[in-house]
Amino acid sequence: MIKPETEAALADAVKSATAPLCIQGGGTRGFEVAGETLSTAGLSGITLYEPGALTIVAQAGTPVSQIEKALAAEGQRLAFEPMDHRPLLGTEGEPTIGGVVAANVSGPRRIQGGAARDYALGVRFVDGAGNIVKNGGRVMKNVTGYDLVKLMSGAYGTLGVLTEVSLKVLPVPETEGTLMLRGLDDTAAVAAMARAMGSPFEVTGAAHCAKILDDDPITALRVEGFEASVAYRLEQLKGLFAEQGVDMLVASDEMSLWFWQGVRDAGKFSEVAGDVWRVSCKPTDGPRLVAASDAEECYCDWGGGLIWFLTAPGVDLRARLGRYDGHATLVRGRSEGIAQFEPQAPGVERISEGLRARFDPRGILNRGLMGAASREVA
């Protein structure tokens, strides 16, 4: 394993590489690509934190837990609620902020606050030629020029190795509350979540899970803010569904925290054998995809726009789902002939290949991941 402790040393390692490199942050995602491991864990530490400006800057290998601890001391948090993959994948190590941004890891709050990439103000990274590149700034108004920040968020290290990220953070709300609707089928649940999210009551979480309370399906709606505002909005949400005769309850504080952590981390599948798939789709397509999947279990987040499926090992879920507007990622499980990431359409693949040729001309960074081309190392 190559574990540089400075950005310059990391750049030298990439520049001198004569074979593919497997880029790793905290090692919690379980990715398997060819090449010697290049770890960013040695680039660790918060380099700037300005609570008044709602801005934090940290080296890519900084553990997320360290950042969350520093933010909590000032009553702030990462707004995009990043998933912790360790319970689902059975991995060890520490999630790093570089890994979170590189994979655009975003939790239930995405439907209201946006994804990780929406809070990334700036990045520093090393491209496949060993060049150090900086893009963006430390406050939102300074983000100018070609937006490599967005490009690097979700590229999974195939275009460059992140060395530092600048993020916008937000205050921690005073409290949260969750309204649970019991017994809705998939179609009714999607309609209910859409109605709640279209209301003025600022829903920050909308998920639907089967067999949670007394084996009844649960459709959960979360609101956050000042205590009085949360109580008022919960009552208003109740009113939206009262005429339908839906069985409703307001979760306790403990249940609310437990439920949303489980939704965020796919906790429902953490101790259950089988492959786990993550499917992004139009919420209205969700019920049809669930029916077509013949999955052992599933649940949806983001108002129905994200569905987690548990299948038997080796099942090609993409083949079962057929054509739809979205994509499926195999998060847990590896099978011969089944790509981890959705194969790209020809037009998108040409664009992706052009970007890889520009940022990683030798094809050495996470080679083979996300359809990365198999160019020879020069």
What pLDDT digit, counting tens, does each position of 290-342 carry?
999 999 999 999 999 999 999 999 999 999 999 999 999 999 998 888 988 99
pLDDT recorded at residue 337: 85
159 lies in the same domain as 33: yes
Residues present in the chain in total: 378
- Name which of 162-166, 258-262, 344-348, 371-375 the model is least confident about: 371-375
151 lies in the same domain as 27: yes
147 lies in the same domain as 180: no
Check pLDDT > 90 for residue 3. Answer: yes
290 lies in the same domain as 238: no
DSSP 186-225: HHHHHHHHHHHHTSSS-EEEEEEEEEEETTEEEEEEEEEE
What pLDDT digit, counting tens, does each position of 233-246 carry?
999 999 999 888 88
Asked whether residue 364 is domain-assigned, the answer is no
Asked whether residue 157 is domain-assigned, the answer is yes
Asked whether residue 202 is domain-assigned, the answer is yes
Check pLDDT > 50 for residue 144. Answer: no
pLDDT recorded at residue 213: 55
Domain count across the chain? 3
The residue among 138, 171, 204 that closes a domain is 171
189 lies in the same domain as 295: no
Quote the CA–CA distance of 125 and 152 in Å, as a whole number. Answer: 9
77 lies in the same domain as 64: yes
Asked whether residue 160 is domain-assigned, the answer is yes
111 lies in the same domain as 234: no
pLDDT confidence tier of residue 141, bands split at 50, 70 and 90: very low
pLDDT recorded at residue 236: 96
Exposure string for 251-280, b = 16+ CB within 10 A, e = fewer: beeebbeebbbbbbbbebbbeeebbbbbbe
Quote the CA–CA distance of 47 and 290 in Å, as a whole number. Answer: 45
How buried is residue 49: exposed, middle or buried, by Cβ count under 10 Å (0-12/13-18/19+)? Answer: middle
What pLDDT digit, counting tens, does each position of 179-231 carry?
999 999 999 999 999 999 999 999 999 999 976 656 789 999 999 999 999 99
Check pLDDT > 80 for residue 30. Answer: no
The residue among 265, 293, 319 that closes a domain is 265
With a CB cutoff of 8 Å and minimum separation 6, the contacts of 188 are: none
148 lies in the same domain as 221: no
286 lies in the same domain as 182: no
Exposure string for 124-162, b = 16+ CB within 10 A, e = fewer: bbbbbbbeebebbbbeeeebeeeebbbbbbbbbbbbbbb
Domain span holding position 114: 7-171
pLDDT recorded at residue 140: 41
Q: For the chain, give the mean pLDDT.
A: 91
Quote the CA–CA distance of 295 and 368 in Å, as a whole number. Answer: 28
Backbone torsions φ then ψ of 38, nearest 5 degrees: -110, 110
For a pLDDT cut of 70, what percent of the chain falls above it?
94
Asked whether residue 355 is domain-assigned, the answer is no
The residue among 246, 265, 284 that closes a domain is 265
**Residue of 147 and 137 predicted with greater confidence:** 147
pLDDT recorded at residue 137: 59
pLDDT confidence tier of residue 34, bands split at 50, 70 and 90: confident
pTM (2 d.p.): 0.90
273 lies in the same domain as 261: no
For a pLDDT cut of 90, what percent of the chain falls above it?
78
CATH number at residue 189: 3.30.70.2190
Range 65-72 average pLDDT = 97
259 lies in the same domain as 302: no
122 lies in the same domain as 11: yes
CATH number at residue 64: 3.30.465.10
Range 265-292 average pLDDT = 94
Query: Over the Cα atoms of the chain, what is R_g?
Result: 21
What pLDDT digit, counting tens, does each position of 91-126 carry?
988 999 999 999 999 999 999 989 999 999 999 999
pLDDT recorded at residue 370: 79
pLDDT recorded at residue 375: 47
